[in-house]
Amino acid sequence: MMRYKIPQLETERLILREHREDDIAAEIAFYATDASQFVGGPKSPEDTWRYISMMMGHWALRGFGFWALEDKDTGTYQGRVGLWYPHGWREREIGWILMPSATGKGYATEAAQAARAHAYDVLGWETAISQIAVTNHASKAVAKRLGAVMEETYDAGDAYGEIEVWRHPAPADLVNGGMEAYA
């Protein structure tokens, strides 16, 4: 039997854990609306289910992937944050996607910091990017709060459009006070 470990991480307000069937229902509702336009949506329920199952397979193949974000107080699904590097991807990426009800609370920054710390401290990544749609201002603000710097833009085609590549501070820069400065 193949077994793969999805480490559970905790931040001040969130638990980062594996995805469950209930979370998929929330993602299906999210991808049915234009709120998903910056992250490849809208998608049909069928495509969304396949996307989430593919995300779970990414853990098995890579040893890292997307965590589900659970609100510590209410236990409800807030979105996902993760480490992403499927075949053909530009380079190793830190991603965040919040459900519409979870925005504006600093959850993406809080969760992405934990994911980045896992990438650097546990997995030994030397660097990471985040790819963000040019018009996704909320997500670019998160990248900025994380200390990332916009490096270049490119056209990612129909589903994603014009994309900005943001570069995260290197592990050494975070040790030198980078992380605290943005916490």
Partner 1 sequence: MSLALNIPVIETERLRLRSHREDDLDVIADFFADDRSAFVGGPKDRAESWRVISGALGHWALRGYGMWLVADKATDAPIGGVGFLNPEGWDEAELGWHVFNGHEGKGYAYEAAAAAKSYGAEHFGIPAPISYIAPANTRSVALATRLGATYERDGEVLGNACHIYRHSKAEAA
| Assigned token pair, 123 | 């997995």
Cis check: omega of the bond before 42, within 30 degrees of 0: yes
Q: Which of 14, 39, 52, 148 binds partner 1 (CB under 8 A)?
A: 52
User: Is 56 near partner 1 (CB under 8 A)?
Assistant: yes
Q: Which of 14, 28, 119, 146 binds partner 1 (CB under 8 A)?
A: 28
The enclosing H or E element of 108 equals: helix 107-117
Q: Which of 11, 36, 48, 131 binds partner 1 (CB under 8 A)?
A: 48
Q: Which of 10, 33, 60, 162 binds partner 1 (CB under 8 A)?
A: 60
Query: Would you call 81 helix, strand, or coil by DSSP?
Result: strand
Q: What angle do CA 154, 83, 103 make, to 5 degrees?
A: 80
| Assigned token pair, 5 | 């470990």
Q: What is the DSSP letter of 170?
A: P
Q: Which of 11, 14, 24, 169 binds partner 1 (CB under 8 A)?
A: 24
x-marked contacts with partner 1 along 81-120 as a string, rule CB under 8 A: -----xxxx-------------------------------
Nearer to partner 1, 8 or 176 (CB): 8
Q: Determine if residue 103 is left, alpha or beta; phi over 0 gives left, psi from -120 to 50 gives alpha, anything else beta.
A: beta
Bridge partners of residue 153, in order along the sequence:
164
Nearer to partner 1, 73 or 87 (CB): 87
Q: How many residues bind partner 1 (CB under 8 A)?
A: 33
Nearer to partner 1, 63 or 104 (CB): 63
**What is the sign, positive or negative, of the torsion defined by CA atoms of 13, 17, 23, 29?**
positive
Residues forming contacts to partner 1 in the complex (CB under 8 A) are: 1-8, 17-18, 21, 24, 28, 44-46, 48-50, 52-61, 86-89
